[in-house]
Chains A and B, each alone.
Chain A
């Protein structure tokens, strides 16, 4: 209801800024200042066995605008991926991140690329957050040579080694023990780096998570278990799948923190805090309260197990991009029109990247036999027209 009213009001409300460019005042550039700015998080952190960080977060105009830009780019890229999938240019399975952008962006702002991130299959935007290339992302989605996994992984398997992004895993929860293993290696290396080990509220009930968590706590590994709680494990609401949906407390003896995952500054604050915490004390669980606008994957319309009103309500009340837009406008760091122009530019950037990615050829056919082992598999073909093929193991 409120949404429709707003939409009806919007044309009138948008009129004054549209007239604004005639004024000299409006020509002042979008703020690029790095003067510190303090903002309070929307909600307090909810702690478990730990003193929470303060709600006041220090940021800068430059950072806020970068947040806006990055999140808007991710949003646009995911919506474009949706169209590409429907046009059958993306095959395989495709899980979109729109709605959850603040988690990827806020986390990235708190850490360095020397820290590791590992996630499940909803990985496009985490790849982008780690500095991934838009063309490589779309090329990978479409299974092309220039993709970040050379077209061999597809949507669920993005990786970026130079930024310590460990991808991109297909089985629910299976990346969690692996991520703890990365932290295990980091502890030996003593470089002060940590691993952000992401999983969803659905995966939170997998047994292997608890096994890994016990070992990580036992050996004080620098691992942050980040539960991206988007409230639905595929089509099942969290409370139908979890006895306790308070995922930040699920580590029992492991401290936790519940964070508003739709508030990029809260995410940043929590991740900064968590990194310091784990280097000193071993694992912590960060529960990011977030939301995905799309269904679980492309085959799920996302509307059978929740209401459209619910989705519209979250868009209205909690959208991570709109929150930052509001911050920028209230602090007068850019005009509404400037932000709109930025979004237009982003749209163009995404379209250009897609066009470029489409030009990338399919991987060479020999790629089918590469990387199975260190020594590539051989190929034997025989029969009439060489139609019978057989892999020759090294």
Chain B
């Protein structure tokens, strides 16, 4: 008890030290977390109506709100000043000025490092890495500097205001270096949060939550859906909780777990399986670490079967972690081996991308095989 109180005290001190205007934004959110995350989510929007927008527009709205609501927030990355290659940052520089929204040189290690430093001084650094495939020069900074900053300084310092946004995944013709899904690398790093939205509504709420979360977050955006996915999104400010999975369809025969762009594929497989009389429970994990084991466990306890699907290669993918954890928790209730339908263990190919991808038919087959095990 005494140590706990001391730790809390320490935390408060360091916040005070870092807190230029400690009552605003980040420090307040830090004090209230994790409850603070759900704070504004009621009603799905802080006033104003909803409007059908695509995913990049939803991200753009979230960034506008983030910059609007916290004067200590900054957006930067390669070509961000012009609106970014996917138009996610359109209009930000005009509205908030070049001091808060700006281009960086082509230097991912620098982008990450500067973002960590900025965040360590109590700011919200929203950095963009243009493609997730380019994130590896920044890997050292993210893994060794950002993730462990709080821990190794005994909570003296942290870079909780850090959010790194990066488009990930296939686009149909991206080839080797514009298609990869590197989420599992980051899921191996305690201290980071990894968040992946599946749709515009989710993207806006989760991104705002990630930006305001008092921990460094790597936020991967499904680039395939930037223009493709359109849905009603509240125009106001709202957040969706991190580390909380969402059950999208209730079902009784098998649990399907995925995230990001893969949800759309899983959903189609669900519909087709329903035609064959198989009832699937579909879960969007939303946050990969720390992930919502309870929701998945509860579902698998009910259905007795689990299928995980992701675009990244199967070996060492995050699906393996889910399979292992759920097997541990639900061993007695599992009626079939956990199925994984994932990318193949090859580099992301230029030709034959559909072969590589965990497509609907592959999932449908695995659903049938698992249900009929």
Contact = CB atoms under 8 A, between A and B. Distances in A.
B346 A236 contact: no
B349 A383 contact: no
Q: Of residues B107, B134, B136, which shows the largest number of chain A Cβ atoms within 10 Å of its Cβ?
A: B107
B78 A234 contact: yes
Nearest to A169: B177
Interface residues of A, number: 50
B96 interface: no
A152 B349 contact: yes
Contacts of B110: 205, 207
Contacts of B107: 205-207
Nearest to A140: B350
A49 interface: no
A384 B364 CA distance: 9
A372 B356 CA distance: 13
Interface string B107-130: 101100000000000000000000
A369 B343 CA distance: 12
Q: Of residues B103, B110, B174, which shows the largest number of chain A Cβ atoms within 10 Å of its Cβ?
A: B103
A393 interface: yes
Contact of A206 (B137, B176, B341): B137
A365 B344 CA distance: 14
A300 B130 CA distance: 14
B82 A388 contact: no
A362 B355 CA distance: 14
Contacts of A384: 365, 368
A3 B315 CA distance: 58
Interface residues of B, number: 44
Q: Of residues A155, A170, A305, which shows the largest number of chain B Cβ atoms within 10 Å of its Cβ?
A: A170
Contacts of B362: 383, 387-389
Contact of B106 (A241, A377, A391): A241
A242 B105 CA distance: 7
Contacts of B165: none
Nearest to A240: B103
B143 interface: no
A235 interface: yes
7 contacts: A92-B178, A152-B349, A154-B175, A173-B137, A208-B137, A234-B85, A391-B344
The 5 closest A-B pairs by CB, nearest first: A92-B175, A91-B173, A170-B177, A383-B365, A391-B345
Given A92-B178, A234-B106, 13 more contacts: A171-B137, A173-B106, A233-B105, A235-B79, A236-B79, A236-B103, A299-B85, A363-B352, A367-B351, A368-B344, A383-B365, A389-B355, A393-B315
